[in-house]
Amino acid sequence: MTVERTIVSGSAKYGRWWSSIVLALFFTLAPLCVVALAQDNAPPPPVQEFVKLLDDPAVRSWLEQARITPERPAPSRGVTNTEQMANRLSSVRAHLATIAAALPQLPAELRRASELLLQELRDRGLFAVVALIGVFAALGYGSERVFWRTTKRTRVWIGHHPMATGADRLHMIAMRLGFGLMLVAVFGLGSIGAFLLFDWPPLLRQVVIAYLAAVVLFRLALVAGRVMLVPDGTVELGNPEQFRAVPMPAEHARFWQSRLALFVGYWAFGRASVDLLGVFGIGSSLQDAAGYILGLGLLGISLEAMWQRPHAHTVPPHHGWSATGRSILLTAYGVALWLLWVAGLKRLFWLAAVTIALPKAIAVGQKAVAYLLRPTIEEHAPRKGVLEVVVERGLRTALIIATALFLADVWGIDLVAITARDTLATRLVRGTLTSVVVLLLADFLWQVSKAAVDTKLTDTVVAEPDTEAAIRQARLRTLLPIFRNILFVIIAVLAGLTAISALGVEIGPLIAGAGVFGVAVGFGAQTLVKDVISGIFYLLDDAFRVGEYIRSGSYKGTVEAFSLRSVKLRHHRGPVYTVPFGQLGAVENMSRDWVIDKFQIGVTYNTDLEKARKLIKRIGQELAEDPEFTRHIIEPLKMQGVEQFGDYAIQIRCKMITKPGEQFVIRRKALARIKQVFDENGIQFATPTVQVTGTEDAPPAAARHVIERISSGRPAAE
């Protein structure tokens, strides 16, 4: 299995070469085609010579020095906001006037540059130049083809790499991306070899190098798009969706891969074309004008992508207007960006571009990380693991910091100079940047710590009760949530104090005042302090853990959760008690180690006690061998002997030792078996009875007494 069609399609190599040549010719001739429209309105030759003279670097440098040399009196008042706005508008107008004045000169300058290049080619010879270009192409693509053929086993090994876990998917993407980069690097090195072996004309050398760099950038964009988006499936990849870094359908992947590659390629060739204008001696104003004209192509590519972008099939039909409205807003935003660029407002341009690009980049990065690091290919993770949080938050932090550094560079802000100066403005800027970095690092640390704790709690495998592993897991489930809350408070307080200190606020008095305030609050909240301290000692003593059944006073139930000051107990009938630690007092833990269960049975006085003992012992052995109860019974059921002689029964005592909480189920099963076995063996359970003797003709006792007195000759009553 290979990755030929995923990295660089062999059948399309020469097609990309010819497309690169066509694009290079287009970018070279585009300014000429656009500016030719303004050739009819060109100013007279003296005006053109004057404008060209003003565009000379030496003349411009002399004019700048002459303008700043005379000493001017300091202004008596500060510049108001209105004046600053007027000055800014004046500079924009002057910039646009310079560009408008330079546009008519562009066709002539392009003709002059082409004459210089053609003259150099004629001096060298057309056949020699064609041979140099042929050797250049042969070395570049030939070395790439040789590398492609010699790395067949490597490509097969990459294609057979497992994709079961998130780490496997990251490894696969890294290998495919590395192979694609090596392929482009071999092409670039082979092409550079043509410059080392042969002597090139100076201008042609610079032209070829500029467009070679553009081709390399374009191919890097193609490689990145193929590796990250996997726009098409191949025999080697099978289902390309599992290799895709960003979750999207294949149609969406093909669309965005082609548009991003086209955008990068257009920008690379356009940038090379504009830079080559300076090589031929064309002034900076003309270069800016050509760049603005070529920028219309970038705007067109962006607008086409906005309007033609595929939408998810899950979007309801009535949401069509919202998609159209977003496209209209994005179109207006793109046109506004181009106008800011043309007006020379580079700071506003880059700020507006970053404002729309940074949130989208962060959102796409989060989706890609969650998709790549899902536990299996078929399903997504219900929670975020440590690796996912580290990569996601680290990527977001890196994007924000890189954007801030980029804006500082574009705006001309020297961060080193800011740290050296000590003014109010520099202190505020320095403090703000430091605070942002501190808060980002604090958020990164908290998210990673929280994910680590949650992962530890979730991944805890249920171990056998009353084992060392079970005790350790119970301790972790008890202490880790409290540790997570304490860690959040510590990180938040330290990050807040550090950010405030970076802004120039003295935190020493703040800490002292907080200490005094804490003492005052402590006296007023003694009960709260008592609860917190009592909870700490309960946890240090390991008095109870999550999942254990405890009783304290009138409260009893299973420990469900902790906070800093209370514990939640779930009663076996459902209610939940939230008991402050200070009110617990002595705690009776009913879920530790083992429990002895005793109960009594009443049998009749004519029972064979030895036979009853043997039957109960046999029942205990049967229960101990039952797979349902064997792991819960520590000592099997047995008869301890006669407890006492009752009025109507002999009370015999039975005993067994089980694991906590299991004695109730085992006792019920044991009593049912005792009843069944005793009935089968003729052993009767004693029950209270009342016997009444005599005949139905017997007179009452009072009547018998009277009859006896009369019969003895005594009076009936004395």
**C-alpha to C-alpha distance for 173 and 372, rounded to whole angstroms:** 10
Between CA 266 and CA 26 the distance in angstroms is: 10
Give CA separation, 413 vs 406, 416, 421, 427, 433, in Å: 10, 9, 13, 14, 12
**Cα distance between the two ends of the chain:** 127
- Token pair, residue 76, equals 């008596």
The single-letter code of the amino acid at 347 is R
> Looking at the DSSP assignment, which residues form a beta bridge with residue 644?
651
Greatest pairwise CA separation for the chain in angstroms: 176
Distance in angstroms (rounded) separating the CA atoms of residues 8 and 219: 9
- Delimiting residues of CATH 2.30.30.60 domain(s) in the chain: 544-589
pTM beyond 0.75, yes or no: no
- Residue 254: partners with Cβ closer than 8 Å, 6 or more residues away: 231, 232
CA dist 329 → 48, 318, 326, 357, 474 (Å): 41, 19, 5, 15, 56
Please tell me the least confidently modeled range out of 250-259, 526-535, 673-682: 526-535
Tens-digit pLDDT profile for residues 121-171:
887 777 877 888 888 888 888 888 888 888 888 877 877 777 777 677 778
**325 pLDDT more than 90:** no
* Residue 696: band (very low, low, confident or very high) from pLDDT cuts 50, 70, 90: low
User: 704 and 638 in contact (C-beta within 8 Å)?
Assistant: no
Residue 197 contacts by C-beta under 8 Å, 6 or more apart in sequence? 135
pLDDT classification of 20: cutoffs 50, 70, 90: very low
pLDDT at 288 over 90: no
The answer on pLDDT for 11 being more than 60 is: no
How many whole angstroms separate alpha carbon 345 and alpha carbon 337? 10
18 pLDDT above the threshold of 70 = no
pLDDT tens, 500-515?
877 777 777 767 766 6
**CATH 3.30.70.100 segments of the chain:** 595-680
pLDDT exceeds cutoff 80 at 214? yes
Query: What is the mean predicted confidence (pLDDT) over 190-211?
Result: 83
Question: Would you give the DSSP letter of residue 686?
Answer: P
Q: Say if CB 602 and CB 650 are below 8 A apart.
A: yes
Mean pLDDT score, 565-582:
85
pLDDT value of residue 30: 38
129 to 25, 125, 203, 214, 582: CA distances (angstroms) = 17, 6, 12, 21, 93
Structure confidence at residue 266 (pLDDT): 93
- β-strand pairing of 650-658 with 595-603: antiparallel
Query: Residue 158 and residue 179: Cα distance in Å, rounded?
Result: 9
Instruction: Please give the Cα distance from 280 to 290 (Å, whole number).
Output: 14
Tokens of 558: 């299973």
CATH class given for the domain over 544-589: mainly beta
C-alpha angle 533/538/544, rounded to 5°? 150
**24, pLDDT greater than 70:** no
CA distance 272 to 24: 9
Question: How much of the chain, in percent, has pLDDT values that exceed 90?
Answer: 5
How far is it, in rounded angstroms, from Cα 660 to Cα 634?
A: 11
Measured distance CA(225)–CA(221) in Å, rounded: 6
Q: List residues bridging with 549 in a β-sheet.
A: 558
Q: What pLDDT, in 10s, does the model give residues 86-103?
A: 777 888 888 888 888 888
Distance CA 244, CA 252 (A): 12
Element (H, E) at 643: strand 633-645
Report pLDDT for 462: 54
Give rounded-to-5 percent helix, strand, coil for the chain.
Answer: 70, 10, 25
Q: Are 297 and 270 in contact (CB under 8 A)?
A: yes
Q: What is the DSSP letter of 236?
A: T
Residue 10 has pLDDT above 50, yes or no: no
More confident of the two residues 715 and 418: 418
Give CA–CA dist 7/173, Å, rounded. 11
Which ranges of 600-692 would DSSP assign to H, the alpha helix? 609-625, 663-680
The percentage of the chain sitting over the pLDDT mark of 70, rounded to a whole number, equals 72
Q: Which token pair is 98?
A: 């310079």
Q: What is the mean pLDDT of residues 183-201?
A: 84
Tokens of 135: 């050797």
Query: How far is 582 from 525, CA to CA, in rounded Å?
Result: 13
Pairing between strand 549-552 and 555-562?
antiparallel
Beta bridge partners of 639: 654
CATH number of 595-680: 3.30.70.100
The least confident of 398-407, 514-523, 639-648 is 514-523
Write the pLDDT tens digit of every residue in 412-429. Answer: 777 666 666 666 666 677
CA distance 53 to 105: 12
Q: Using the 8-state DSSP alphabet, how is residue 44 labeled?
A: P
pLDDT at 15 over 80: no
Amino acid at 87: N
pLDDT band for position 387 (50/70/90)? confident
657 in helix, strand or coil?
strand
Q: Mean pLDDT throughout 425-448?
A: 79
Higher pLDDT, 436 or 718: 436
Q: At what angle do helices 57-68 and 45-54 cross, to 10 degrees?
A: 60
**What would the two tokens of residue 187 be?**
């092409």
- Which runs of consecutive H residues, i.e. helices, occur in 198-283? 202-229, 250-279
Of 712, 602, 600, 713, whose CA–CA distance to 667 is shortest? Answer: 600
Query: How far is it, in rounded angstroms, from Cα 572 to Cα 239?
Result: 52
Higher pLDDT, 24 or 533: 533
Q: Which of 347-361, 378-392, 418-432 has the highest mean pLDDT?
A: 347-361
Main-chain phi, psi angles of 56, to 5 degrees: -65, 130
